[in-house]
Structure 1
Amino acid sequence: MVMMGLERLMVFLKSRMRFLKMKKPYDKIEKSESMRVEIRSRKARKLVEETLKIADSPKTKTYAF
Structure 2
Amino acid sequence: MLGLKKVVMIIKAKIRSLKKKKAYNKVEKSESMRMEIRSRKAKKLIEETLKVADSPKSKTLF
TM-score (norm 2): 0.66
**Shift of residue 55 of structure 1?**
0.1
Percent identity of paired positions between Structure 1 and Structure 2:
72
Indicate the RMSD between aligned Cα atoms, in angstroms. Answer: 1.6
Runs (4 or more) in structure 1 with deviation over 6 Å come to: none
1:26 corresponding residue in structure 2 = 24
TM-score (norm 1): 0.63
Gaps of 5+ in 1: 1-17
The total of aligned residue pairs comes to 47
Which aligned pairs between 1:7-26 and structure 2 lie closer than 5 A? Answer: 18=15, 20-26=18-24
Gaps of 5+ in 2: 1-14
Which of 42, 46, 52 is the equivalent residue of 2:44? 46
